[in-house]
Structure 1
């Protein structure tokens, strides 16, 4: 059966990061067409604001909150450790911690973009670019969705999981615009950066998973992960 090379994941991740970098630069130098795009999308998304919709979306948007994502990650990592999937647990936890939390915070401080003040429905005072919710949701739900897709048999099942994953992430992105706490370019940038983290991390893990297993064995940890290596699970399954 045809194998899916890990280098393809890394290439996709790098392309996403390049697009993120281009958008970051455009925001930094305040390109006029990006500003016009922001205003047009905000106007379209906030064209039908209601009290009930705002209350619902203010709650549902928190499924992308970095604190919730970190909490869910801890629970998932503990479960993986209990199943003796040590390599997978370390990879997942490390990706979320550094990719979705630490590096995002650093980027926010560097760009230091102010929140939009057009029609805010929630009060936020931290930096706006990139959206923390968009980044955290893309990394956390994206990495889980991609893992399920690669482990699952049947093309239609993979397609369904892909649509569900993208739909969930897209929903969170739209809620941040609707609530007036982010510019559209904030959430698009968060998605691009998050996608780059997911694909690069996955590609690197595919290449180094067997090495990580050997290192863990030296510490007396018999890893039983369903490894995403180029010699195992990353084969295309029909």
Structure 2
């Protein structure tokens, strides 16, 4: 795919992400989204069982910062030793750390208090946007991007996307189920991460394209 195609796709995703995040943040400021949040929370928490609670605690754990750090270290080793990536390591680290920094900035800017309707776990800190949602979207999004070209079969690629989507959604839903986030926090996290991840990947692809063209030009000059 040419750089122009990446620019078009990235622009569309970025615009959708910015519009989505902006709308949610405006609704939160006007408190117009509380009714929507309560309906979703009641529906999700209405499914509560002991077994489902354990499952949701598992998903919320694998979306936590400590697990993401351990997973990231493993993936860095895999990318470097097995797939022999070099520049991709910079993209991976930039995407993960940038997402965490952006989440901290946004949380402190909006300072939204967490819901207190029916909590199954206790946690402190601000609510919007969800750090777990941003972690999940960024980690599994960047994994899908980096592994895509190493999977040659259509079935394998579909499985990669399916697993990534399931993990992203499951981690987000677990936060609603456990009562520590509003659904709008989760959506806001997805949109914020979508914008950041798109920007990081686009910058990487732009650099790769320029680097490739520069090397080609040097080869022609030498020849």
TM-score by length of 1: 0.80
Does structure 1 retain, via aligned residues, the 8 Å contact 2:3–2:205?
no
* Corresponding residue number in structure 2 for 1:23: 24
Bigger share in helix: 2
Asked if the contact 2:3/2:206 (under 8 Å) is kept, the reply is no
Q: Structure 2 length normalisation: TM-score?
A: 0.85
Q: Which runs of 5+ in 2 are unaligned?
A: 217-223
Q: Which residue does 2:181 correspond to in 1?
A: 182
1:22-171 → structure 2 map (5 Å cutoff): 22-31=23-32, 34-82=33-81, 84-98=84-98, 100-171=99-170
Q: What is the Cα-based RMSD across aligned positions, in Å?
A: 2.4
**Deviations 1:95-118, CA, capped at 9 Å, x for gaps:** 1101x2111111101110001000
Partner Cα separation in structure 2 for residue 164 and residue 80 of structure 1: 19
Rounded to whole Å, the distance in 2 between the matches of 1:37 and 1:177 is 13
Change (3 A) 1:163 1:28: same
Q: Say whether the 8 Å CA contact 2:138–2:194 is kept in structure 1.
A: yes
Instruction: Quickly say closer, same or farther: Cα 1:8–1:14, change in 2 above 3 A.
Output: same
Q: Which moved more, 1:37-46 or 1:66-75?
A: 66-75
The answer to whether residue 6 in structure 2 is matched with residue 6 in structure 1 is: yes
Contact 1:70 1:97 in 2 (8 A): no
1:23–1:162 distance in 2 versus 1, CA, 3 Å: same
How many residues in Structure 1 have an aligned counterpart in Structure 2?
212
Aligned to 2:220: none
CA change 1:68–1:9 in 2 (3 A) is farther
Contact 2:6 2:202 in 1 (8 A): yes
